[in-house]
Amino acid sequence: MKTTKLMVIAGLSVSLMGLSNLSSTTASAASVKTIQKVQTKAVLQKVSTHYNSKAKSLHISGLATQGNKVVVKYGTKKLATTNINAKHEFDTKVKFTGYKTISLYAVNKANKRVTPIVKLTANRYAAPTPTVEKSHRTSKAINYDLTTAKNKGTLVFYYQGKKFYSQKVKSTKTRISFTQDQLKGKKGNFTVRYFQTSKKASPAVKAPIVKVGSVTQIFY
């Protein structure tokens, strides 16, 4: 009887060890499956932009974990379709006017979208729009107080479509003054744009050429 009990206990021990090993193996397999799902998730990554002001084109590049091509749209208009190489890289250059949102996504051989859509708003590829907070004219000069979201860039004034003056900014607040001689024969408005390296120029804003003694101020 003692021998029989020992054999039963030994058998139970072996069975429990087998169940433990099976449980570990199953858990490991589940872990592997989870890791594989994360690695193969279809997305566009490391999307970057660089605007060439001379060519007036935007260079877009990045990585696609899945797909054969990347489609680029400007609003609802398709601008380009570019191939994804063996290293999962893509890049393209596109031209457009305006400041609409650009959309990117990867497609497979059947032209079916396989990744979520990545959206590039104007804040991503263009310089921020400057604000003309105040214009004040005296008998000697006109002063403009402007603000910019960034403190690295150049403010450019245009008159009737021609470049009139430019100044690099060193702060988010900038004052620019023009003498009476510089203003001779000018009326209406200047237009102002903000420029930054690798960015498209900002949308234009108006800087009114007010009369002597006048003040124009924007209140928030």
**pLDDT per position as a tens digit, 46-88:** 999 999 999 999 999 999 999 999 999 999 999 999 999 999 9
> Are 55 and 113 contained in the same domain?
yes
pLDDT at position 39: 53
> Are 140 and 121 contained in the same domain?
no
> Are 64 and 106 contained in the same domain?
yes
| Cα angle: 147, vertex 148, 151; to 5 degrees | 115
**Which tokens belong to 100?**
């609409």
> Are 80 and 49 contained in the same domain?
yes
Residue 151, in any domain of the structure: yes
- What is the domain extent for residue 75? 44-125
Give the end of a domain, one of 125, 142, 166.
125
Give the end of a domain, one of 90, 125, 160.
125
Residue 6, in any domain of the structure: no
The sign of the dihedral angle between the CA atoms of 109, 110, 113, 118 is positive
Other CB atoms within 10 Å distance of the CB of residue 1: 5
Q: How far is it, in rounded angstroms, from Cα 159 to Cα 154?
A: 17
> Are 95 and 137 contained in the same domain?
no
Q: How far is it, in rounded angstroms, from Cα 182 to Cα 141?
A: 9
pLDDT at position 214: 75
Q: What is the mean predicted confidence (pLDDT) over 156-160?
A: 98
> What is the full DSSP assignment across 114-160?
-SPPEEE-HHHHBPPPPEEEEEEE-SSEEEEEEE-SSSSEEEEEEET
Domain count, the chain: 2
The sign of the dihedral angle between the CA atoms of 58, 59, 65, 66 is positive
* Structural element, H or E, at residue 79: strand 77-83
Largest distance between two CA atoms of the chain? 121
* Structural element, H or E, at residue 17: helix 2-39
**pLDDT averaged over every residue in the chain:** 86
pLDDT at position 220: 42
> Are 193 and 159 contained in the same domain?
yes
Q: What is the mean predicted confidence (pLDDT) over 166-171?
A: 94
> Are 104 and 62 contained in the same domain?
yes
pLDDT at 6 over 80: no
- What DSSP character marks residue 66? S
- What DSSP character marks residue 78? E
> Are 74 and 102 contained in the same domain?
yes
> Are 99 and 56 contained in the same domain?
yes
State the CATH number of the domain containing residue 80. 2.60.40.10
Are 156 and 163 within 8 A, CB to CB?
yes
> Are 175 and 191 contained in the same domain?
yes
Q: Is 14 helix (H, G, I), strand (E, B) or coil?
A: helix
* Structural element, H or E, at residue 180: helix 180-183
Give the end of a domain, one of 74, 91, 125.
125
The two beta strands, 153-159 and 188-195, are antiparallel
pLDDT at position 11: 47
Q: What is the pTM of this model?
A: 0.75
Q: How far is it, in rounded angstroms, from Cα 151 to Cα 174?
A: 9
> Are 202 and 169 contained in the same domain?
yes
